[in-house]
Amino acid sequence: MSQIVFENVVKRFGDTVAVEEMNLSVEQGEFLAIMGSSGCGKTTTLRMLAGLETPSDGEIRLNGKRINELKPSERETPLVWQSLALFPFLSVIQNVEFGLRMRGIDAEQRKKQALVWLEKMEIADLAERQIDQLSGGQKQRVALARALVTEPPVLLLDEPLSALDANLVVRMQGVLSRLQKDLGITFIYVTHSQSEAFAMADRVVIMSQGKIEQVGAPLEVFRKPASRFVAEFVGSNNIFGGKVQSIEGTVVNIETALGLMTAEWENRAALSVSDAVEVVISADNFEITSTKGENENAIRCSVVSEEFIGTVVSLLLETESGVELKIQKQQREIAELDLHVGTELWINWVPDAVYLLP
C-alpha cells in the first residue's frame, strides 16, 4: 500500500481549476519533487496534503486513511515554508520546541528533544540566539529542526532553498539528501529549480496547468520527455517537427527542418510511414567538429553567440537554412576549436541521441 495517494483530486477556486483530476501515489521513504512553472498547481497540491486547502473533489489518503477533512495539526505532515515562517520573538531552541509544546510535552523533555535536533542540524551552539542573529543557511536549519522534532512520517517543503545564495543551495541540498536517507521518511519537495529536483529526488513530477504531464526518475524525465511541454521545460532541448519517411527495423528516417535525420527507435510499433512526429535532441548530445564527421546525422552551422558558464559553454548556432540550435559542451571539449561569432563548424549526432514524440 502506498503511503500517500491522490485519487481523482480536483481543486477549484471559483471558476478556476488549480488542480485537475490528479492521480498520484507516493511510497514510504521516497523523495518526490514536484516541478512546473508558476500557477501550474504544485503549491496547491502541497497545501492540500498539508491540510491548508481542502480538495473540491476526489480523495487524499495517508497510510490508507482519508485525510481530506483533517486539520493540519492532525496529519503529521509539517510544512517547511519558502519564507521559513520562524517566530522572530522566540529563540532558536524555543522555535524548535514549539511543535512539542503544542502537543503538551513537558518543558524538560521538550528541551532535550530540541537539543537533539539542533545537534543533528549542527547548530546546537546557536540554541539561545535570536532568529534575527542568524544567517540564511542557519535559519534554514532551524526551520528543518522545528519541522522534524516531532518525528513526522512525511515532510513537506515549499521551495525552501529559493532565498539562499548558490553556494548555500548546494550545501543545503547535501543536508536535505542526507537527512532524508538517514531518517527514512517521505519528503515531498516543491521547486522551480531543475537542478535541485534532479540532484535530490527519487522521482520527479512535472505539472502544467493543473495537470501532471509526467512522473519518473530524473534521468528518465530528462532523456525521455512524455510531451512537448516536458521537453521544453526540462533541460535545453532542440525540438523540430518531422515526418516519418521510412522504417527499417529499429532505424527510422525522418524529414525535418535539418534535412533527413536518422533515429534509433525500438518502439517502432508506435510509428508508421508518413506519421508526424516531434524530434527532440538534448543540447549536450551533439558533437562539434571542424570537418564533417562519420555520423549519419551531420549539418554545417555557424556560431551566433557563445556563453561561458563555469566549465560549461552554451552555444547558439544557425544552419545555412536559418534553423537555430542550442548546444552545450564542456569548455575543455571545444577549447581547441577557437570558437567566436561567425565561426563555421559541423555538428554531428548519433541516431541514439534522437528522441521521438509521436
For residue range 331-340, list pLDDT tens digits in order: 888 888 888 8
- More confidently predicted of 85 and 230: 230
Give the model's pLDDT for residue 172: 83
**How far does Cα 53 stand from its chain's mean position?**
23
Mean pLDDT of all residues in 131-142: 88
Give the model's pLDDT for residue 337: 84
For residue range 109-120, list pLDDT tens digits in order: 999 999 999 998
Tell me the C-alpha distance between 94 and 84, whole Å. 15
Q: Among the listed ranges 28-32, 136-140, 342-346, which one has the minimum average pLDDT value?
A: 136-140
Mean pLDDT of all residues in 278-304: 90
For residue range 190-209, list pLDDT tens digits in order: 998 898 899 999 999 999 99
For residue range 152-179, list pLDDT tens digits in order: 999 999 988 877 777 778 888 888 898 8
The domain spans of the chain are: 4-228, 236-357
Q: What pLDDT band is residue 267 in, cutting at 50, 70 and 90?
A: confident
For residue range 204-229, list pLDDT tens digits in order: 999 999 999 999 999 999 999 999 99
Alpha-helix residue ranges (DSSP H) falling in 158-310: 166-183, 194-200, 218-223, 228-233
Tell me the C-alpha distance between 57 and 272, whole Å. 40
Give the model's pLDDT for residue 32: 97
Give the model's pLDDT for residue 262: 94
Nearest CA-CA partner of 121 in 143, 150, 141: 141
Give the model's pLDDT for residue 304: 95
Give the model's pLDDT for residue 155: 93
Mean pLDDT of all residues in 94-105: 88
Q: C-alpha grid cell for residue 91? A: 529563540
> From residue 111, how far is each of 70, 77, 80, 108, 129 by CA, in Å?
29, 22, 21, 5, 15
Mean pLDDT of all residues in 269-295: 88
Listed in sequence order, the residues at least 6 apart from 194 whose beta carbon sits closer than 8 Å to its beta carbon are 35, 234, 235
Give the model's pLDDT for residue 166: 76
What percentage of the chain has pLDDT greater than the value 70? Answer: 99
Q: C-alpha grid cell for residue 144? A: 528543518
Q: Which CATH superfamily is 4-228 part of? A: P-loop containing nucleotide triphosphate hydrolases (3.40.50.300)
Q: Is the separation of the CB atoms in 243 and 274 below 8 Å?
A: yes
Give the model's pLDDT for residue 268: 65
Tell me the C-alpha distance between 122 and 308, whole Å. 36
Residue position matching grid coordinates 481542502: 54
Give the model's pLDDT for residue 331: 86
Mean pLDDT of all residues in 90-96: 92
Give the model's pLDDT for residue 349: 93
For residue range 41-73, list pLDDT tens digits in order: 999 999 999 999 999 999 999 999 999 999 998
Q: What mean pLDDT value characterizes the chain?
A: 91
Nearest CA-CA partner of 197 in 177, 214, 213: 177
Give the model's pLDDT for residue 13: 95
Q: What pLDDT band is residue 269 in, cutting at 50, 70 and 90?
A: low
Domain 236-357, what fold?
Answer: OB fold (Dihydrolipoamide Acetyltransferase, E2P) (2.40.50)
